[in-house]
Each structure stands twice: as structure tokens, then as C-alpha cells.
């Protein structure tokens, strides 16, 4: 590891951050139920002298820290707090104490790193302006970022830019990865219900068959990406559920298909939504059955602003050196609700390497655990980012 070393204050907080992180890991809470977690966050921020606001987007918390020097500029740093509805399989001491709940995405670590940064900056607020520490609920599928925005996040706490990070197993410890433009995908869901006249499995000619229609539709859906999307663009259409039928000898009268669609641009997203609907209706018609089509746009793509990304790259290089920052990372087709914040404000979402991810230690795996070795790196990134944006040598906005 070649990074030049985080600031002493952050280094001294390492044992604290690890203790907070493991305590959060042992007490995971899922979307909008983060009562204990947000309570702990608020209590600590208050103890360190921040101005704390709770109940934003149900369980969201914002801690506001003013710099020692006067300044009009303000930025937002964001961490997510929620866990997943999974049963942890780890057996170490800090394993989940909550049945069917698990920090399998490292949001315990994200929360601990941002807390560490808040404490370090509260002890030495050597900047001009305001930092809002945003702790959001419900990142995992329930749009906690949007809930906070709808609850007036950026009216109550105006910021010029907003910043996020995620730990990334499979990427070396001591490295950062980012890219300008889309870095995570739009994550949509669809449900198609085919309805016909079921009947005897031996007399298909007396009814209509939703099963063969469903089979055609599943295959045809795969041609949306291969035949209608520009090969240079990225997209995924996955049918992940097929429900229908109860008896060996009876053709059912309904089959329901469900799945997910991923895309990195609005045009591709529109095309998938439209084509899948056309296919559902026309393939159903070809089989003499009817289709009901529901397409739900969930998270938008997570799009990094070019200027903020260039600045993040500069900050990351100052911590781990040029060789350990990839400014041209690949987007992934996973989703991230920080996307909603980036729709409102320019900013940047970076990936912090968490190590090889051996023995199932991958995101959303029941054997995952956040790598405590990166707590100081993440916290250092936050502190350096504030110094770069609001510190004495910061260029004018």
C-alpha cells in the first residue's frame, strides 16, 4: 500500500470507528426502521457539537458543522445507514443480533467512516463555510435519498455539491475507482400478466395457452438488448420470476412474469420500457391471450458530474497516489439511490477498494463483513475533500 498516510486525527479515531462499526453491524436495521442507528448517529453528532436534525425522510439525520472561518459555501457528505433482510451466516462476535437482518452491504462501515470524519472535523474545523453530514435511510430499494429530498433536504440544508462513497469488495484495499458520467444503472422492475382461457392439458385447441405465450415472451425479451439497443450502449433485461399453473394436466388461465431492467441512459431506458410493452401486447395477441403490463421506474442512473469527479480524483490521488486511483472505472449495472441526490446537485460517487472479497465476502452475500482496514481511508477521503473544497487553499467556487 503506497498511500501517504491519513491525518493523525483520523488515525487516532481508528479504534473508535471500528467499535462503532461493529456495534452497528451487530444491530442492523432495514429500510425506515433505522431507529437505533439514527439515534446513535444523532447522539454522537450532538456530543461533538454539531447542529443535529432528525426525522428527515422518516429516519434520516443531518448534522451541520460550521467552519472556524466565515464562508458562504456549503457541501453535503452522505452515508447510508440501512441493512438488508438477510440472515447472516458469520459466526464472529459482532455478527447480527437481529434475526433476518444483516449489514451485508457495508452501510455500517459507511456510517462509521462519516462519523469519524465528522468527529475529526468538529475537533478542528479548519475550513470556511458549512458541511452537512447526511445520514440517509433505506438505500436498499426503498429510496431513502428521495424520501429525504421530498422532505426538503436541499431546501433546509442548501449545498453546492453532494458526495458519496461505497466500499467495493473485489477491488484492492488502498485503491479508489470512479468515472465521470453514469457509474451505476437505472434499476427498474416490470410485471406482465398474461390472461387466456385455461383448460385441459390434453385438449389445448379448446382454450388459449398463456404458458407458450410466456415462453415466447421470455425469449423475445432478450432481443430487446441484442436487436434494438445500440451495441455501444449497455442494458440488461432479466426475467427473474415466472408464476403460473398448478396441475400437470391443466393449462392455467394466467401466468405472471416479473423481472428487472437496467440501463445507463434515459434513451435506453425509454426504449426498454416501450419495447417490452409492445412485445407483451403483440406476443399475447399472437397467442390469442391478453397482456397487462406494468413497468416501474425505480432508481435513476447514478451520474457523476465531470468537474466534481475531476476534483474527487485529485483528492483521492493526494491520499493513495496516482497509481492507486482509477479515474476511468467501469460502470456497473447495479443501482444506487444516491442517484436521486445527484439529480438535484452536482457531485460524485466513488468506490473504495475493500479487498479480495474471499469466502463470500461480497456485497449482499450472507458471509460478507465490512473490511475495517479501510475505515481510516474513507474518513480521510471525507476530511481531505472538505479541505480541498472549503479549506484555506480552496479555489473560489
Catalytic site positions: 82, 139
Q: Using the rule CB under 5 A, give the single segment among 104-112, 130-138, 318-326, 341-349 that binds Zn ion.
A: 104-112
Contacts of 322 (CB under 8 A, 6+ apart): none
- Number of residues lying near Zn ion (CB under 5 A): 1
Distance in angstroms (rounded) separating the CA atoms of residues 122 and 127: 11
Q: Residue 342 Cβ, how far from Zn ion at the closest point, in Å?
A: 15
Q: Residue 358 Cβ, how far from Zn ion at the closest point, in Å?
A: 19
Nearer to Zn ion, 90 or 208 (CB): 90
Q: Single out the residue of 280, 292, 289, 291 nearest to residue 217, CA to CA.
A: 280
Contact 10, 380 (CB under 8 A): yes
Q: Residue 166 Cβ, how far from Zn ion at the closest point, in Å?
A: 6
Q: Does 333 bind Zn ion (CB under 5 A)?
A: no
Q: Using the rule CB under 5 A, give the single segment among 36-44, 48-56, 99-107, 198-206 that binds Zn ion.
A: 99-107
**Residues 343-382 within binding reach of Zn ion (CB under 5 A):** none
Q: Residue 135 Cβ, how far from Zn ion at the closest point, in Å?
A: 14
Q: Using the rule CB under 5 A, give the single segment among 98-106, 224-232, 264-272, 372-380 that binds Zn ion.
A: 98-106
Could you give the angle at which helices 14-26 and 107-123 cross, rounded to 10 degrees? 140
Q: Residue 143 Cβ, how far from Zn ion at the closest point, in Å?
A: 13
Q: Residue 371 Cβ, how far from Zn ion at the closest point, in Å?
A: 14
Contact 3, 377 (CB under 8 A): yes
Nearer to Zn ion, 133 or 349 (CB): 349
Residue number with the smallest Cβ distance to Zn ion: 105
How is residue 154 written as a grid cell? 436541499
Distance in angstroms (rounded) separating the CA atoms of residues 76 and 79: 10
Contact 131, 44 (CB under 8 A): no
Q: Using the rule CB under 5 A, give the single segment among 105-113, 255-263, 291-299, 372-380 that binds Zn ion.
A: 105-113
Give me the torsion for CA of 31, 36, 39, 44, rounded to 10°: -110
Q: Residue 82 Cβ, how far from Zn ion at the closest point, in Å?
A: 9
Give me the torsion for CA of 120, 121, 126, 127, rounded to 10°: 150
Q: Using the rule CB under 5 A, give the single segment among 13-21, 102-110, 306-314, 337-345 that binds Zn ion.
A: 102-110
Contact residue for Zn ion among 13, 102, 105, 184 (CB under 5 A):
105
Nearer to Zn ion, 157 or 368 (CB): 368
Contact 65, 140 (CB under 8 A): no
Residues that bind Zn ion (CB under 5 A): 105
Amino acid at each position: 500500500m503506497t498511500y501517504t498516510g491519513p491525518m493523525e486525527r483520523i488515525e487516532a479515531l481508528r479504534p473508535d470507528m471500528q467499535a462503532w462499526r461493529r456495534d452497528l453491524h451487530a444491530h442492523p436495521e432495514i429500510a425506515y426502521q433505522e431507529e437505533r442507528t439514527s439515534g446513535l448517529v444523532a447522539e454522537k453528532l450532538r456530543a461533538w457539537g454539531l447542529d443535529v436534525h432528525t426525522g428527515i425522510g422518516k429516519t434520516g439525520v443531518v448534522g451541520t458543522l460550521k467552519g472556524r472561518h466565515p464562508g458562504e459555501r456549503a457541501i453535503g457528505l452522505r452515508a447510508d445507514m440501512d441493512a438488508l433482510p438477510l440472515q447472516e451466516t458469520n459466526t464472529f462476535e459482532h455478527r447480527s443480533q437481529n434475526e433476518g437482518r444483516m449489514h451485508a452491504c457495508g452501510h455500517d462501515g459507511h456510517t462509521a467512516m462519516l462519523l469519524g470524519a465528522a468527529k475529526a472535523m468538529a475537533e478542528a474545523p479548519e475550513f470556511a463555510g458549512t458541511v452537512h453530514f447526511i445520514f440517509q435511510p433505506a438505500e436498499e430499494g426503498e429510496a431513502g435519498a428521495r424520501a429525504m429530498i421530498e422532505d426538503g433536504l436541499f431546501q433546509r440544508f442548501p449545498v453546492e455539491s453532494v458526495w458519496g462513497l461505497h466500499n467495493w469488495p473485489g477491488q484492492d484495499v488502498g485503491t479508489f475507482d470512479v468515472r465521470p458520467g453514469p457509474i451505476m444503472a437505472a434499476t427498474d422492475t416490470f410485471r406482465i400478466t398474461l390472461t387466456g382461457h385455461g383448460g385441459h392439458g390434453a385438449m389445448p385447441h379448446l382454450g388459449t395457452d398463456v404458458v407458450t405465450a410466456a415462453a415466447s415472451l421470455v425469449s423475445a425479451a432478450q432481443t430487446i438488448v441484442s436487436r434494438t439497443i445500440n451495441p455501444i450502449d449497455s442494458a440488461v433485461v432479466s426475467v427473474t420470476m415466472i408464476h403460473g399453473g398448478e396441475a400437470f394436466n391443466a393449462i392455467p388461465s394466467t401466468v405472471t412474469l416479473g423481472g428487472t431492467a437496467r440501463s445507463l441512459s434515459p434513451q435506453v431506458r425509454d426504449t426498454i420500457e416501450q419495447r417490452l410493452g409492445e412485445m407483451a401486447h403483440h406476443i399475447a395477441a399472437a397467442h390469442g391471450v391478453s397482456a397487462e403490463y406494468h413497468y416501474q421506474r425505480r432508481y435513476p442512473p447514478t451520474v457523476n458530474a465531470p468537474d466534481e469527479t475531476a476534483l474527487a480524483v485529485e483528492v483521492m490521488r493526494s491520499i493513495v497516489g496516482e497509481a492507486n486511483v482509477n479515474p476511468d472505472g467501469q460502470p456497473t449495472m447495479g443501482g444506487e439511490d444516491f442517484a436521486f441526490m445527484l439529480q438535484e446537485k452536482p457531485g460524485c460517487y466513488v468506490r473504495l477498494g475493500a479487498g479480495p472479497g474471499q469466502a463470500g465476502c461480497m456485497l449482499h452475500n450472507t458471509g460478507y463483513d465490512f473490511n475495517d482496514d479501510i475505515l481510516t481511508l474513507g474518513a480521510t477521503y471525507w476530511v481531505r475533500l472538505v479541505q480541498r473544497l472549503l479549506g484555506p487553499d480552496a479555489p473560489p467556487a
